[in-house]
Structure 1
Amino acid sequence: MIRFNRAIKPFSVLSFDLDDTLYDNRPIIKAAMKAQADYLNKLAGYQEKGPQYWQYCRELAVQQQPTLVDDVTQWRKQTLRLALSKLGFNQSDMEHHAKGAYNAFADARSNITVSDDILALLDNLSKQYTLIAITNGNAEVERFNLNNKFALVLQAGLHGKAKPHSTLFDQAAVHLGVNKNAILHIGDSLDSDVQGANNAGCQSVWLNNQTANYAYKGLADIEIADIHALTHLIKK
């Protein structure tokens, strides 16, 4: 299914969200959280705090430092420091174990294998368009088989505010030397991907293949139910 909600202007760049757009991120995050928890549960006093302790510290961290909301990597690292310091670890041990727990998470977080059919789709699209990635997540593309598929990868926190802020889209346009309406952004979230692209003056594709409630009521320029519908963009 492909539905055009608005007439599409000429574009030369296809921008992709990563998590839940090019692969199912749910089992990956579940495995990463387990790897982090396995590390932390070996430390004195952590497991005794109970299953809600991580969420409590996560919320406390962003209350103390609201800008963390735009950088999931630093948010996690600061939450780890806070959780361990509240358990009484000294500065040196706190930093050591925060790093160890984060590395356990990060190793599992980027243990991703994108399917061959998606890789083939990207290869075909790249023959006619410049492909880039704009993500709010912290998967490290260079560590799995999306490496070298994109001319540019922009990550919230590392390169600017998270979508739906326009920062990452603005940077992409400047870096590539194109007008923002020459960028067609594809993502699964109405709130971050479609709203972000629309607000930035880019064009948008909503991959509507999940059951979720969104606050954003705007329309994507194009709506698809399957990522392979993007083959319609390939000019014969």
Structure 2
Amino acid sequence: MAKTHQISVEKRDDEGKGASRRLRRAGFVPAIVYGGELKPVSIQILHKDVWHASQNEWFYSSILDLSLNGDVQKVLLRDMQRHPFKQLVLHLDFQRVNENEAIRVRVPLHFLNQEGSPAGKTSGVVITHELNEVEVSCLPGNLPEYIEVDLGELKVDDILHLSDLKLPKGVEIPELRLGKEHDHAVVVAKEVREEAEAAPEAGEGEAAAAAAPAAAAKKDEKK
């Protein structure tokens, strides 16, 4: 189960582009909280708090506790707008979660024991991570912060699929319900063979053979 992380917020009354620009100049990030039975609420968060949180994996895949003067609402980050080249967060969207309703969230994959696996110890083998995150469905209380993928037994030519992942209790991958064609590869261990030396291009051999008698004739003339 993922941990919860608390972030302090303040309610904001001013809206619009002008108000948002003033907030940013004052060191805040405008945001909105929506979903559930409550109306959407406009809030503001200190940029330094948002920036610090955004450097962590959990900010994007965990249940967050937004604390407004002690009133805590559990939410998920659903959208974050960044400045195209400055280290600035421009706006955030949070969605309220109901502990009794399933949610869909993309969670990161953590790969373990790759170097010690048979494939990892074999020279000339490339191990590719085809996916680095996966969408899961579960109740908020069962949401994992990440899913571990143990590659300790991975061998050459092995392919690890979504259906091979060991999921926590109460967690499933909705895409697998759509059929076998959606059971995508997660990890592939493939041996890379060196390409054989390129054969002479067509015509090169014939040109060399034709040039040999001419070279020999010139040699005889010099004698």
TM-score (norm 2): 0.26
More strand, by proportion: 2
Q: Which has the higher contact order (CA 8 A, sep 6+)?
A: 1
The structure whose residues are more often helix, as a share, is 1
